[in-house]
Chain A
Amino acid sequence: MALTTLGSTGGSAARSITAGLTRKGVDLRSKLVEGSLIGALGITMVILAVLVADIIQRSWSVWTDRPVDFLTSGLNNSSAAEAGVSSAIRGTVTLCLIVIVVAFPLGIACAVFLEEYAGKSRFARWTRVNVRNLAGVPSIVYGLLGLGIFVKALDALGNSADNLQGRGFFALRWLGNVFEFFAGNQGRNVFAGGLALSALVLPIVVITTSEALRAVPGAIREGALGVGATKWEMIRHHVLPAAAPGILTGTVLSLARAAGEAAPILLVGAVTGTLITGNKGFLDQLSGPFTALPAAIFSYARAQGEDFRAVTAATALVLLVLVLIMNGFAIALRNRYDRKW
């Protein structure tokens, strides 16, 4: 009956529907389309495989000849036989620690405010708009920020340190020493770099944490408030634990992003030539010139000679392993705790 109605309306639509429903044999065009789609996915995966294989293969000579020496010598772009990554690894670890200390508490607390306290106030709306807009800004712009604000500010701190250290009162002298520590190398130090990276990941941390908090159902909040918990107790004992896997995933991913960014720290003044810290004290090393793994790759990639290709690949492999471990941890965490309420 249905088909007769279709037929009676006539037209090409009815004919093609009938043809579609009664067709026999292999549908060649669909197979072709599916094949090319698989091809697109396949090429993407092949690119990834070639990338990793190429870097491992290129760096092989370094790992067989002098693995320990490579990991323990400093940045050196004049001699490939003495080049290493120790100062770069130390710089990257320090940068990551600064991001963890500065950006994560600030970002998570800001997200808690926006999701749990703010509602629709004008201030909250503006903060949300700002954070969203900054999330997609190119990383080199944050380097500009580091150069324009953080380096200048730390340098100014150093100038006031000279002033303070001349005072008689011991507390002021002590404060002067602290300022001088943070203002090493005219402000072009690891702290300025870490602050620039913190500004870079802050919007990402706020957005991912907000999403994790939003995924916690309202019933959990109402339950907690219903038995007499204060708002803080509700957040502390119910909302945050429920959102913890999501928050952790987002923060670890953004940490991996910060560890791999080169442009901001280079603009802030990461060393790209030679940085051999020798036997300087730990604190002197910390406040002096700094470098990091991405900066080291940039430095070695531009050095001439086939030997440096191997060194660059080895440095890239170190960074890749570091970043992929973080990413893998985050993805595994998300897949494990991916629960729908």
Chain B
Amino acid sequence: MAAVTPTSPAPIILRTNSRRRFRDNAARGVFVSAAMTTFVITMLIIGTLAFDAWDFIRQVTSAERGQGWQLALTVIAGFALAALAVRSIAPRIGTTGALPWLRRALWPLAFVAVLVVGFSVFGGWTLLNSLGSELTQVGWFPRRGLFDMSTIIVGTFVIVGIAMIVAVPLGIGAAVYLAEYARPRVRKVVKPIVEVLAGIPSVVLAFFALAFINPNIVVRFFDPPNKAASMLAAGIAVGILTIPIIASVTEDALRAVPLALREASFGLGAQRSQTTFRVVFPAGISGIVAALILGISRAIGETMVVAIAAGASGGALFHFDPLQGGQTMTAAMAGLGFGSDQVAGADAAFQSLFFIGALLFLMTLLLNVLGDKLVARVREVY
């Protein structure tokens, strides 16, 4: 009896042949280069803004304040860059490394970096103000050489304030209803409608503000001096634009609150309104604050509504009155840069465009980072 050698089945292993391996590597290369391109583009955006704003400040300071200012700013900027560099290599230094003092110096250096940003903003600000100093009026009129930053920043705050008065009750109310009260069937129908509102282009809403909100609401109820346009109409329209973002972030925050909290509250005999406002609301508060912050950020950045409906395309004087025409930072940029309005030739005007842009970028960036942090906290806790 011959020994039967057990014939092991041929191993079925899919060998990666060279063509498949090549494709795999090629795909990886494509993806990596796409990510690198994206990275370069994002850095380009940030870098352009920073460089142009810096250039503007440098030119203005060298012209108006002499070399001392410029030297001081350059030194501070050098320190800031050093701080950033140190910050990025800090994890490699180690706590017991040869350079423990470097580690300790990190926070002071970071503080200096903050100072630089502050100084830059301050420098650009005073510079812009000084350009219009010979004139007695305070305002933002690029064509007449009036560049007062406080005018457009106050204008921004007025618009954002009106927008929040409109958007916060409506947005949060709608979100609370959708998250806590509405039946699933109702929610399924209503939610897409709110999302449609989010998709409406801001130019369309700007026209609506000019043609409908201003004559039918502002002129009818408030009797403004200028019947054609007002900051109030623009603010209401900006508010309508921010409703969807406030509503969706708030709704997500409330839905993230675990059911057990509600059940416990009902179990103790609380009514629905008590449960909603004393249990669910406090539990989701960081998400709701995040919704407000993101809404404010959106309202600050809104351009077209103010450019079309706030009634001050050439410029505005310094005032707080929402019934008059006014300008925000974005609308001022629009006035400086759009098509036929363009302020050509005047260097300060063109460069102040980039300065305002950088300031706007910084403001919305801070607000967005803050909002994102709060949203992330909601996700972590539950």
Residues of B within 8 A of A36 (CB): 173
Quick check: B24 and A232 within 8 Å, CB to CB?
yes
Contact B35–A294 (Cβ < 8 Å): no
Residue B304 contacts which of A20, A45, A134, A263 (CB distance < 8 angstroms)? A263
| List of A residues within 8 angstroms of B190 by Cβ | 41, 45
B67 within 8 A of A: no
**A interface footprint on B25-36 (CB within 8 Å = 1, 0 otherwise):** 011101110111
Which residues of chain B have a CB within 8 Å of any CB of chain A?
13-14, 16, 20-21, 23-24, 26-28, 30-32, 34-39, 41-46, 48-49, 52, 169-174, 176-178, 181, 188, 190, 192-197, 199-208, 210-212, 240, 243, 247, 268-273, 276-277, 294, 297-298, 300-304, 307-308, 313, 330, 333-334, 337-340, 353-354, 357, 360-361, 364-365, 367-369, 371-372
Nearest-neighbor residue (CB-CB) of A116 within chain B: B31
Contacts of B181 in A (CB 8 A): 34, 37-38
Per the bound structure, the CA–CA distance linking A263 and B230 in Å amounts to: 20
Q: Name 19 interchain pairs, CB-CB below 8 A, sorted by A.
A: A20-B269, A29-B271, A30-B273, A34-B181, A34-B273, A41-B178, A48-B200, A106-B37, A116-B31, A130-B39, A137-B365, A203-B42, A230-B20, A253-B199, A262-B304, A267-B337, A301-B210, A309-B211, A319-B204
Whether A233 sits at the interface, judged by CB under 8 Å, is yes
Q: Is the CB of A113 within 8 A of B173?
A: no
Query: Which single member of A124, A138, A199 contacts B35 (CB below 8 Å)?
Result: A124
From known contacts A112-B31, A136-B364, A230-B23, infer whether A19 and B269 are also in contact, taking CB-CB under 8 Å: yes
Q: Taking the nearest CB of chain A, how far is it from the CB of B47, in angstroms? A: 10
Q: Are B14 and A228 in contact (CB under 8 A)?
A: yes
Q: CA A325 – CA B182 in complex, angstroms?
A: 27
Q: How far is the CA of A107 from the CA of B106 in the complex (A)?
A: 35
Q: Binary interface profile of A, 95-136, with partner B (CB < 8 Å = 1, else 0)?
A: 000000000011101101110111000011011001111111
A266 within 8 A of partner (CB): yes
Q: Closest B-chain residue to A260, C-beta based?
A: B201
Q: Which residues of A contact B172 (CB under 8 A)?
A: 40
Q: Which of B200, B207, B333, B372 contacts A144 (CB 8 A)?
A: B333
With A18-B269, A110-B38 already in contact, 18 other A-B pairs whose C-beta atoms are closer than 8 Å:
A17-B269, A20-B268, A36-B173, A41-B173, A45-B190, A58-B211, A127-B38, A136-B294, A138-B301, A141-B49, A144-B353, A145-B49, A147-B337, A262-B304, A263-B307, A270-B339, A294-B304, A298-B206
A113-B34, A117-B28 known; A266+B49 contact, CB < 8 A: no
Chain A interface residue count, CB cutoff 8 Å, equals 110
Instruction: Determine whether A285 belongs to the interface, using a CB cutoff of 8 Å to chain B.
Output: no
Contact A313 B308 (CB under 8 A): no
Contact of B271 among A30, A235, A271, A327 (CB under 8 A): A30
Q: Which residues of B contact A143 (CB under 8 A)?
A: 337
Residues from chain B with a CB closer than 8 A to the CB of A199 are 41, 45
Provided the pairs A34-B181, A38-B177, A106-B37 are in contact, do residues A130 and B24 lie with their beta carbons within 8 angstroms? no
What is the chain A residue whose CB lies nearest that of B337?
A267
- Known contacts A148-B354, A272-B338; is-contact A48 B34 (Cβ 8 Å): no
Would you give the shortest CB distance from A48 to chain B, in whole angstroms? 5
Q: A145 near B48 (CB under 8 angstroms)?
A: yes
Nearest A residue to B26, CB-CB: A232
Verify if A284 is at the interface (C-beta below 8 Å from B): no
Q: Nearest Cβ distance between residue B54 and chain A, in whole angstroms?
A: 13
Known: A41-B174, A58-B211, A256-B199. A48 touches B49 (CB 8 A): no
Q: Which residues of chain A are near B37, meaning CB under 8 Å?
A: 106, 110
What is the 8 Å Cβ interface bit string for chain A, positions 135-172, against chain B (1 contact, 0 not)? 11111111111011100000000000000000000000
Contact of A246 with B by CB under 8 A:
no
Question: Would A54 and B339 be within 8 Å (CB), given that A124-B35, A230-B24, A294-B203 are in contact?
Answer: no
Q: For B37, B194, B273, B371, which residue has the most chain A Cβ atoms within 10 angstroms?
A: B273
With contacts A20-B270, A127-B39, A312-B207 taken as known, whether A137 is within 8 angstroms of B301 at the C-beta atoms is yes
